[in-house]
Structure 1
Protein backbone atom coordinates (compact mmCIF):
# COMPACT_ATOMS: atom_id res chain seq x y z
CA UNK A 1 0.00 0.00 0.00
CA UNK A 2 1.18 3.42 -0.98
CA UNK A 3 0.75 6.65 0.98
CA UNK A 4 0.89 9.75 -1.21
CA UNK A 5 -0.24 12.64 0.98
CA UNK A 6 -1.48 13.84 4.34
CA UNK A 7 -5.23 13.86 3.76
CA UNK A 8 -7.36 11.04 5.12
CA UNK A 9 -7.91 9.68 1.60
CA UNK A 10 -4.27 10.00 0.48
CA UNK A 11 -3.47 6.30 0.49
CA UNK A 12 -4.28 3.41 -1.80
CA UNK A 13 -6.76 1.83 0.63
CA UNK A 14 -8.84 4.99 1.21
CA UNK A 15 -8.48 6.83 -2.09
CA UNK A 16 -11.93 6.02 -3.49
CA UNK A 17 -13.89 5.35 -0.30
CA UNK A 18 -15.66 8.68 -0.76
CA UNK A 19 -17.25 7.23 -3.90
CA UNK A 20 -19.19 4.78 -1.72
CA UNK A 21 -20.82 7.68 0.12
CA UNK A 22 -21.47 9.64 -3.06
CA UNK A 23 -23.20 6.56 -4.49
CA UNK A 24 -25.18 6.13 -1.26
CA UNK A 25 -26.40 9.73 -1.44
CA UNK A 26 -27.40 9.23 -5.09
CA UNK A 27 -29.23 6.02 -4.17
CA UNK A 28 -31.16 7.81 -1.43
CA UNK A 29 -32.04 10.68 -3.77
CA UNK A 30 -33.32 8.16 -6.31
CA UNK A 31 -35.53 6.59 -3.64
CA UNK A 32 -36.85 10.02 -2.68
CA UNK A 33 -37.40 10.82 -6.34
CA UNK A 34 -39.63 7.79 -6.81
CA UNK A 35 -41.62 8.56 -3.67
CA UNK A 36 -42.13 12.21 -4.62
CA UNK A 37 -43.55 11.23 -8.00
CA UNK A 38 -46.74 9.94 -6.45
CA UNK A 39 -47.08 11.28 -2.92
CA UNK A 40 -49.42 14.03 -1.86
CA UNK A 41 -47.72 14.43 1.51
CA UNK A 42 -46.35 17.93 2.24
CA UNK A 43 -42.93 16.71 3.39
CA UNK A 44 -39.88 15.29 1.69
CA UNK A 45 -36.31 14.14 2.41
CA UNK A 46 -34.83 14.71 -1.03
CA UNK A 47 -33.33 18.11 -0.22
CA UNK A 48 -31.46 16.72 2.76
CA UNK A 49 -29.90 14.01 0.61
CA UNK A 50 -28.99 16.56 -2.05
CA UNK A 51 -27.34 18.75 0.55
CA UNK A 52 -25.32 15.76 1.77
CA UNK A 53 -24.34 14.94 -1.82
CA UNK A 54 -23.21 18.54 -2.29
CA UNK A 55 -21.06 18.41 0.83
CA UNK A 56 -19.36 15.34 -0.60
CA UNK A 57 -19.13 16.89 -4.09
CA UNK A 58 -17.42 20.01 -2.76
CA UNK A 59 -14.85 17.89 -0.93
CA UNK A 60 -14.43 15.23 -3.64
CA UNK A 61 -15.27 16.96 -6.95
CA UNK A 62 -13.47 14.47 -9.21
CA UNK A 63 -15.48 11.48 -8.02
CA UNK A 64 -18.66 13.56 -7.83
CA UNK A 65 -18.26 14.57 -11.47
CA UNK A 66 -17.69 10.94 -12.43
CA UNK A 67 -20.68 9.57 -10.48
CA UNK A 68 -23.38 12.24 -10.76
CA UNK A 69 -25.39 12.05 -13.97
CA UNK A 70 -26.74 15.37 -15.20
CA UNK A 71 -29.80 13.74 -16.74
CA UNK A 72 -30.64 12.39 -13.27
CA UNK A 73 -30.21 15.75 -11.58
CA UNK A 74 -32.58 17.28 -14.13
CA UNK A 75 -35.12 14.53 -13.42
CA UNK A 76 -34.76 15.05 -9.65
CA UNK A 77 -35.35 18.78 -10.11
CA UNK A 78 -38.42 18.19 -12.28
CA UNK A 79 -39.83 15.64 -9.83
CA UNK A 80 -39.26 17.99 -6.91
CA UNK A 81 -40.96 20.89 -8.73
CA UNK A 82 -43.93 18.72 -9.69
CA UNK A 83 -44.25 17.55 -6.08
CA UNK A 84 -43.95 21.12 -4.81
CA UNK A 85 -46.63 22.38 -7.21
CA UNK A 86 -48.91 19.51 -6.19
CA UNK A 87 -48.39 19.90 -2.42
CA UNK A 88 -47.45 23.54 -1.85
CA UNK A 89 -50.87 24.47 -0.41
CA UNK A 90 -50.31 21.86 2.31
CA UNK A 91 -46.99 23.44 3.34
CA UNK A 92 -47.39 26.22 5.91
CA UNK A 93 -47.33 29.52 4.00
CA UNK A 94 -44.57 30.99 6.18
CA UNK A 95 -42.20 28.20 5.01
CA UNK A 96 -43.39 27.70 1.44
CA UNK A 97 -41.26 30.33 -0.27
CA UNK A 98 -38.15 29.48 1.72
CA UNK A 99 -38.40 25.79 0.92
CA UNK A 100 -38.72 26.51 -2.79
CA UNK A 101 -35.86 29.02 -2.69
CA UNK A 102 -33.66 26.54 -0.82
CA UNK A 103 -34.49 23.83 -3.36
CA UNK A 104 -33.66 26.12 -6.28
CA UNK A 105 -30.30 27.01 -4.73
CA UNK A 106 -29.44 23.35 -4.08
CA UNK A 107 -30.40 22.28 -7.60
CA UNK A 108 -28.45 25.19 -9.11
CA UNK A 109 -25.32 24.13 -7.25
CA UNK A 110 -25.90 20.46 -8.05
CA UNK A 111 -26.06 21.41 -11.73
CA UNK A 112 -22.36 22.34 -11.55
CA UNK A 113 -21.42 18.71 -10.95
CA UNK A 114 -21.80 15.61 -13.01
CA UNK A 115 -21.44 14.35 -16.53
CA UNK A 116 -23.58 13.61 -19.56
CA UNK A 117 -22.47 10.00 -19.96
CA UNK A 118 -25.16 7.32 -20.01
CA UNK A 119 -23.26 4.23 -18.88
Structure 2
Protein backbone atom coordinates (compact mmCIF):
# COMPACT_ATOMS: atom_id res chain seq x y z
CA UNK A 1 0.00 0.00 0.00
CA UNK A 2 1.53 3.27 -1.12
CA UNK A 3 1.52 6.42 1.03
CA UNK A 4 2.05 9.57 -1.01
CA UNK A 5 1.19 12.51 1.31
CA UNK A 6 0.17 13.57 4.79
CA UNK A 7 -3.36 14.46 3.64
CA UNK A 8 -6.27 12.46 5.02
CA UNK A 9 -6.60 10.83 1.60
CA UNK A 10 -2.83 10.57 1.05
CA UNK A 11 -2.67 6.82 0.63
CA UNK A 12 -3.97 4.26 -1.83
CA UNK A 13 -6.55 2.88 0.58
CA UNK A 14 -8.10 6.31 1.19
CA UNK A 15 -7.66 8.21 -2.07
CA UNK A 16 -10.97 7.11 -3.61
CA UNK A 17 -13.11 7.14 -0.49
CA UNK A 18 -14.55 10.57 -1.32
CA UNK A 19 -16.28 9.05 -4.36
CA UNK A 20 -18.63 7.21 -2.00
CA UNK A 21 -19.84 10.58 -0.75
CA UNK A 22 -20.20 11.97 -4.27
CA UNK A 23 -22.27 8.94 -5.20
CA UNK A 24 -24.41 9.29 -2.08
CA UNK A 25 -25.06 13.01 -2.66
CA UNK A 26 -25.97 12.39 -6.29
CA UNK A 27 -28.24 9.50 -5.30
CA UNK A 28 -30.04 11.73 -2.78
CA UNK A 29 -30.44 14.49 -5.40
CA UNK A 30 -31.88 11.96 -7.85
CA UNK A 31 -34.36 10.75 -5.21
CA UNK A 32 -35.37 14.35 -4.50
CA UNK A 33 -35.67 15.00 -8.22
CA UNK A 34 -38.20 12.19 -8.63
CA UNK A 35 -40.19 13.26 -5.56
CA UNK A 36 -40.30 16.91 -6.65
CA UNK A 37 -41.71 16.00 -10.04
CA UNK A 38 -44.92 14.79 -8.39
CA UNK A 39 -45.32 16.62 -5.11
CA UNK A 40 -47.60 19.50 -4.32
CA UNK A 41 -45.79 20.13 -1.02
CA UNK A 42 -44.06 23.50 -0.46
CA UNK A 43 -40.87 21.96 0.92
CA UNK A 44 -37.95 20.12 -0.62
CA UNK A 45 -34.57 18.61 0.30
CA UNK A 46 -32.87 18.87 -3.08
CA UNK A 47 -31.07 22.12 -2.31
CA UNK A 48 -29.38 20.81 0.83
CA UNK A 49 -28.09 17.79 -1.09
CA UNK A 50 -26.77 20.09 -3.82
CA UNK A 51 -25.12 22.23 -1.15
CA UNK A 52 -23.41 19.12 0.25
CA UNK A 53 -22.34 18.05 -3.25
CA UNK A 54 -20.85 21.50 -3.77
CA UNK A 55 -18.91 21.30 -0.50
CA UNK A 56 -17.37 18.05 -1.72
CA UNK A 57 -16.79 19.52 -5.18
CA UNK A 58 -14.85 22.48 -3.86
CA UNK A 59 -12.40 20.16 -2.11
CA UNK A 60 -12.26 17.38 -4.72
CA UNK A 61 -12.57 19.21 -8.03
CA UNK A 62 -11.28 16.35 -10.19
CA UNK A 63 -13.74 13.90 -8.68
CA UNK A 64 -16.54 16.44 -9.06
CA UNK A 65 -15.78 16.83 -12.75
CA UNK A 66 -15.80 13.05 -13.18
CA UNK A 67 -18.93 12.41 -11.08
CA UNK A 68 -21.31 15.22 -12.02
CA UNK A 69 -23.10 15.02 -15.35
CA UNK A 70 -24.19 18.33 -16.82
CA UNK A 71 -27.33 16.84 -18.37
CA UNK A 72 -28.41 15.64 -14.91
CA UNK A 73 -27.75 19.09 -13.42
CA UNK A 74 -29.92 20.57 -16.15
CA UNK A 75 -32.74 18.15 -15.34
CA UNK A 76 -32.45 18.83 -11.60
CA UNK A 77 -32.69 22.55 -12.27
CA UNK A 78 -35.72 22.10 -14.53
CA UNK A 79 -37.41 19.92 -11.91
CA UNK A 80 -36.72 22.50 -9.22
CA UNK A 81 -38.02 25.34 -11.42
CA UNK A 82 -41.20 23.42 -12.27
CA UNK A 83 -41.72 22.55 -8.60
CA UNK A 84 -41.23 26.20 -7.64
CA UNK A 85 -43.80 27.36 -10.21
CA UNK A 86 -46.24 24.73 -8.96
CA UNK A 87 -45.63 25.07 -5.20
CA UNK A 88 -43.91 28.42 -4.69
CA UNK A 89 -47.07 30.26 -3.67
CA UNK A 90 -47.41 27.83 -0.74
CA UNK A 91 -44.00 28.90 0.64
CA UNK A 92 -44.31 31.72 3.20
CA UNK A 93 -43.77 34.99 1.36
CA UNK A 94 -40.89 36.08 3.60
CA UNK A 95 -38.86 33.01 2.47
CA UNK A 96 -40.05 32.54 -1.11
CA UNK A 97 -37.64 34.86 -2.94
CA UNK A 98 -34.69 33.80 -0.79
CA UNK A 99 -35.27 30.12 -1.56
CA UNK A 100 -35.43 30.87 -5.27
CA UNK A 101 -32.28 33.03 -5.12
CA UNK A 102 -30.48 30.30 -3.20
CA UNK A 103 -31.43 27.77 -5.85
CA UNK A 104 -30.15 30.03 -8.63
CA UNK A 105 -26.81 30.44 -6.86
CA UNK A 106 -26.45 26.73 -6.13
CA UNK A 107 -27.28 25.67 -9.69
CA UNK A 108 -24.98 28.32 -11.15
CA UNK A 109 -22.09 27.04 -9.07
CA UNK A 110 -22.96 23.41 -9.81
CA UNK A 111 -22.84 24.18 -13.53
CA UNK A 112 -19.14 24.92 -13.09
CA UNK A 113 -18.46 21.24 -12.46
CA UNK A 114 -19.01 18.09 -14.40
CA UNK A 115 -18.96 16.86 -17.92
Matched residue, 1:50: 50
Post-superposition CA distance 1:47-71 (Å, at most 9, x none): 0000000000001010110010000
Q: Deviations over 1:5-30 (max 9, x none)?
A: 11100100000100010010000000
Alignment-derived partner of residue 62 in structure 1: 62
- Quote the Cα distance in structure 1 between the aligned partners of 2:77 and 2:69: 13
| Alpha-carbon separation, structure 1, partners of 2:108 and 2:99 | 14
Report the Cα distance in structure 2 between the residues aligned to 1:61 and 1:10, rounded to whole angstroms. Answer: 16
* RMSD value, Cα: 0.4
The TM-score, its normalising length taken from structure 2, stands at 0.99
2-structure distance, mates of 1:113, 1:22: 12
**Secondary structure of the equivalent of 1:95?**
helix
Separation (CA, whole Å) in 2 of partners of 1:68 and 1:37: 21
Matches within 5 A, 1:1-119: 1-115=1-115
Please state how far the C-alpha of 1:36 moved relative to its aligned partner: 0.2
Could you tell me which runs of 5 or more consecutive residues in structure 2 were left unpaired when the two chains were aligned. Answer: none
Moved over 6 A (4+): none
